[in-house]
Amino acid sequence: MKKILISISCAFATLTINASSPISYAIEVSAKNPLIIVNGYKIRFADYAKIKPEHIESIIELEPEDAIEVFGKNGENGAIIIKLISSFKGFSLDGAKIDDRIIEKVAFYAEQAKLKEQARLEAEAKAKIEAEEKARLAAELKAKNDALETSRLEAEENAKLSAAEKLKKEAADKARKEFEENQRLENENKNRAETETEAKAKQEADEKARLAAEAKAKQEADEKARLDAEAKAKQEADEKSRLAAEAKAKQEADDKSRLAAEAKAKQEADEKSRLAAEAKAKQEADEKARLAAEAKAKQEADEKARLAAEAKAKKEADEKARLAAEAKAKQEADEKARLAAEAKAKQEADEKARLAAEAKAKQEADEKARLAAEAKAKQEAEEKARLVAEAKAKKEADEKARLEAEVKAKKEAEEKARLEAEAKKQQALKELENQKNKDAASVDFLNKLEQDFKNSINNPKIKRVLIEGKEVTKKEATKLSVFDVETSIITYDKVNGDGTIEIKLTKK
């Protein structure tokens, strides 16, 4: 997941983008385009390019796996969530509104992705340092073991030889080296081409063996890396499928709860409107019937009074008319007072009912908000606990894999060191056996070396003898034993062919 926050100060501009219908949106998603949300509304991907950078306050980009967590299947190609600057007034949208709770989850997933990326980089750096330190310690341990093994073999070999045998061996080695050096110098020109050919062949064979070993090691490393990558990819795919299934199930449950709540709220609103309409219609009908009855009764009373007045004498009619007028005036005043009292009582009842309805609606809204807040808090706590548990499980698995790898590497290193030690031991025993075989002929070889040394000094071609850089006679030089000589080098003058032998004595 990537989180990109861009803050831009810009001038006022006008832009109008219409939200897409579900059908066109589905077509765009099928074209592998990411989900585009602007100010909480889905828009067509084609309209995304019309938004200028200076109109954007912030933008968050989600990778497909995180977009699926938040938006379900609609986010399978990723998602881009944009918030425009508050001063921008030209943006209008119709429909395709995204739930605010889902938009709030975007920032949470972006922050989690940032933390995961940081943890991954830290883990990689730590693993790299640990691997380098491990390699260094392994190299130091190997060098130390090699040195100890060499010292041990030398000590064992030296312990097996007596003092006389040791001196004899040293003398034989020295004489052999001297003889080989003289032979090399005398035959250098003759054997140069052959030596170079053998060296080249040996070098080519060593290089071929080295390349073969490197190719085999590389092949084994590539195979191991491939198997590790396949295992990791399978694990990631399984985890992604599980998370996608959980997200889908959670989203479906949330959508089901939301739709049920909306349906219930709509049903309650419709029922309330119907009852209000019925009450109002009944009240109007009652009022109309009451007024009609009162009008009819009044008309009948007036008609009766008129007929009675006409039937009686004029005097009585006048008196009755006066009394009727007074009665009528009183009746009208009473009626007026009654109507006023009824109107006042009705107004007070309506006001009381309105206040009660408002109080009830407010209480229901507060209760609904409280339940929604508790549900949201519980959901966030459960999500946080799940992420913490998953992170802990992943960390424990990584630690277990690392420890197993270290144990395996240590075991392989110990096995390799043991095999190398055994090989060196076998080589040392073989050399010791060869040396014992050579010692049988060492006496004659030493006598021959002594005679060859004398002959090399008395050679007629040798005109000068130098001992430690000082010229001496051949007689003085022949007094030396071959065991007193560390090196003797013969050189010939290319002009006259005169030879010079340079002798370097041992420190003894």
Domain positions in the chain: 22-111, 286-407, 443-505
Least confident of 20-34, 123-137, 284-298, 320-334: 20-34
Q: Which pLDDT band, with edges at 50, 70 and 90, does 31 fall under?
A: low
The pLDDT value recorded for residue 440 is: 64
Q: Which residues contact 428 (CB under 8 A, 6 or more apart)?
A: 153, 156, 157
The pLDDT value recorded for residue 508 is: 59
Nearest to 490 by CA among 185, 187, 190: 185
DSSP character for 23?
H
Report CA dihedral (419, 422, 424, 427) to the nearest 10 degrees.
-130
Q: Which pLDDT band, with edges at 50, 70 and 90, does 303 fall under?
A: confident
The pLDDT value recorded for residue 371 is: 94
For 187-213, what is the mean pLDDT?
79
Structure tokens at 122: 């830290």
Report CA dihedral (299, 305, 311, 315) to the nearest 10 degrees.
-140
Classify residue 328 as left (phi > 0), alpha (psi -120 to 50) or beta.
alpha
Cα 151 to Cα 166: distance, rounded to the nearest angstrom: 17
Nearest to 64 by CA among 53, 50, 79: 79
> Is the separation of the CB atoms in 42 and 48 below 8 Å?
no
Q: Which residues contact 82 (CB under 8 A, 6 or more apart)?
A: 36, 37, 38, 39, 51, 56, 58, 59
For 325-332, what is the mean pLDDT?
91
The pLDDT value recorded for residue 8 is: 31
For 105-127, what is the mean pLDDT?
85
Radius of gyration for the chain, computed over Cα atoms and rounded to the nearest angstrom: 55
CA atoms lying within 13 Å on the CB side of residue 120 = 7
Strand partners, 501: 465, 490
DSSP character for 469?
T
Cα 307 to Cα 111: distance, rounded to the nearest angstrom: 95
SS3 state of residue 481 = coil
φ/ψ (deg, to 5) at 16: -125, 120
Cα 305 to Cα 324: distance, rounded to the nearest angstrom: 8
The pLDDT value recorded for residue 485 is: 87
Cα 482 to Cα 8: distance, rounded to the nearest angstrom: 94
Q: Is the pLDDT of residue 442 over 90?
A: no
Nearest to 109 by CA among 73, 74, 65, 76: 65
How large a percentage of the chain has pLDDT more than 90?
25
For 185-199, what is the mean pLDDT?
77
What value does the mean pLDDT of the chain take? 82
The pLDDT value recorded for residue 177 is: 86
> Is the separation of the CB atoms in 64 and 78 below 8 Å?
yes
Q: Angle formed by the axes of helices 64-71 and 100-160, to 10°? A: 140
CA angle 288, 294, 300 (to 5 degrees): 135
Q: Which pLDDT band, with edges at 50, 70 and 90, does 310 fall under?
A: confident
Least confident of 119-123, 241-245, 320-324, 412-416: 241-245
Cα 48 to Cα 38: distance, rounded to the nearest angstrom: 9
Q: Is the pLDDT of residue 7 over 70?
A: no
CA–CA distance from 105 to each of 41, 81, 368 (Å)? 15, 11, 21
Structure tokens at 469: 């850089």
The pLDDT value recorded for residue 9 is: 32
Q: Is the pLDDT of residue 26 over 50?
A: no
Place of tokens 């060492």: 442
Q: Which pLDDT band, with edges at 50, 70 and 90, does 17 fall under?
A: very low
Q: Is the pLDDT of residue 32 over 90?
A: no
Q: Is the pLDDT of residue 2 over 50?
A: no
Least confident of 4-18, 339-353, 385-399, 402-416: 4-18
Cα 363 to Cα 360: distance, rounded to the nearest angstrom: 5
φ/ψ (deg, to 5) at 142: -65, -45
The pLDDT value recorded for residue 348 is: 93
Structure tokens at 332: 């009208």
> Is the separation of the CB atoms in 109 and 69 below 8 Å?
yes
Q: Which pLDDT band, with edges at 50, 70 and 90, does 88 fall under?
A: low
10 Å CB burial of residue 78 (0-12, 13-18, 19+) is buried
CA–CA distance from 397 to each of 24, 229, 231, 235, 392 (Å)? 44, 16, 14, 12, 9
* Amino acid of residue 148: L
The pLDDT value recorded for residue 28 is: 44
SS3 state of residue 123 = helix
Q: Is the pLDDT of residue 338 over 90?
A: yes
Q: Which residues contact 481 (CB under 8 A, 6 or more apart)?
A: 450
Cα 358 to Cα 363: distance, rounded to the nearest angstrom: 8
Cα 165 to Cα 158: distance, rounded to the nearest angstrom: 10
Q: Is the pLDDT of residue 478 over 70?
A: yes
Q: Is the pLDDT of residue 304 over 80?
A: yes
The pLDDT tens digits for 484-502 are: 888 889 988 888 888 999 9
For 287-294, what is the mean pLDDT?
87
